[in-house]
Amino acid sequence: MSQQRHGSTPGNAGAVPAFPDLPEATIARLPEYLRALHHLAETGADTISSEGLAAAAGVNSAKLRKDLSHLGSYGTRGVGYDVALLVDQIEYILGLDQRRAVCLVGVGNLGHALAGYAGFASRGFRIVALFDADPARVGEQINGLTVRHFDELPRVAAAEALAIGVIATPANAAQAVADGLVAAGVTSILNFAPCVLSVPPGVDVRKVDLAIELQILSFHEHRKASLTALPGGRENAGGQEAVGS
């Protein structure tokens, strides 16, 4: 079995560094593997073949083996991967052993739903603070948390070691919120506002734009319709398109 807990000393030729430099697409697939592995663990599986795990995660098995080789995990021929060990390795790489503190800014329609989303807690995160700039919303209780005024962010950030800020404000407020988060020491931002944020080096931003996802599907609808309309038109073999891949 060539799965190792955290790899070996950084910089050693031929060894897996303590913190591997992973392709962005691999990083985006690790959470999918983790979700599938947790599900397998719940069903009592101790080991899983690369084909089985690939199918459960919706990727092809060659890609999966390559992704996991970046972590120093090659499985065992004829046996596959040790489920518990691989969970441990991926959670370590993703830093999920830390249960990072998340704050959410903007408790309108979407922010309200995000604040109540059980999936954050079950998958390694603690939402510790909710903020809004609207005095009418300050003091509101959502899922056991009290909405605070955004002016309180610096104090809360210091007290709670906030790691990730989620922006669910309208687009015209998002840059100011991002600036406030960065000033308060937050270095990762998940942005739901439909706009591009400008942040200094060292701050990571991920963006989820729900209308863009529909527009991409609209493209595929349009493409499929044009293929059907052409002489000899063929249907495309569609399938899963994971966000971030």
Q: Does position 218 bind its own copies by CB under 8 A?
A: yes
For position 23 contacting its own copies by CB under 8 A, the verdict is no
Under a CB-based contact definition with an 8 Å cutoff, are residues 91 and 20 in contact?
Answer: no
Determine contact, residues 102/126, Cβ cutoff 8 Å.
yes
155 binds its own copies (CB under 8 A): no
Task: Indicate the burial class of 14 (C-beta count within 10 angstroms; 0-12, 13-18, 19 or more).
Answer: exposed
Question: Do 245 and 64 meet the contact criterion of CB atoms below 8 Å apart?
Answer: no
Residue selected from 62, 159, 176, 217 as contacting its own copies according to rule CB under 8 A: 217
> Alpha helix locations (H) across 14-108?
24-42, 50-57, 61-69, 83-93
Which conformational region is residue 173 in: left (phi greater than 0), alpha (psi within -120 to 50 degrees), or beta? alpha
- What is the nearest approach in angstroms of its own copies to the Cβ of residue 218? 5
* 107 carries a ligand binding annotation: yes
Least distance CB 162 / its own copies (angstroms): 11
Q: Segment 29-68, which members bind its own copies (CB under 8 A)?
A: 30-32, 34-36, 56-58
**Listed ranges 41-49, 79-87, 113-121, 128-136: which one lies at the site for its own copies (CB under 8 A):** 113-121
Is residue 119 a known part of a binding site?
A: no
For helices 24-42 and 83-93, what crossing angle results, to 10°?
140
**Is residue 144 a contact residue for its own copies (CB under 8 A)?**
no
Find the angle CA(91)-CA(95)-CA(99) to the nearest 5 degrees.
95
Give the binding range for its own copies (CB under 8 A) out of 63-71, 129-137, 146-154, 186-194.
Answer: 186-194
Given the complex with its own copies, which of 36 and 138 has the nearer CB atom? Answer: 36
| Residue window 93-112: x/- pattern of binding to its own copies, with contact defined by CB under 8 A | xxxx-x-x-x------xx-x
User: Which residue lies nearer to its own copies by CB, 87 or 102?
Assistant: 102
Closest CA to 103 of 160, 166, 151, 150: 166
Binding mask 70-89 for its own copies (x = CB under 8 A): --------------------
From the annotation, which residues make up the binding site for NAD(+)? Answer: 106-111
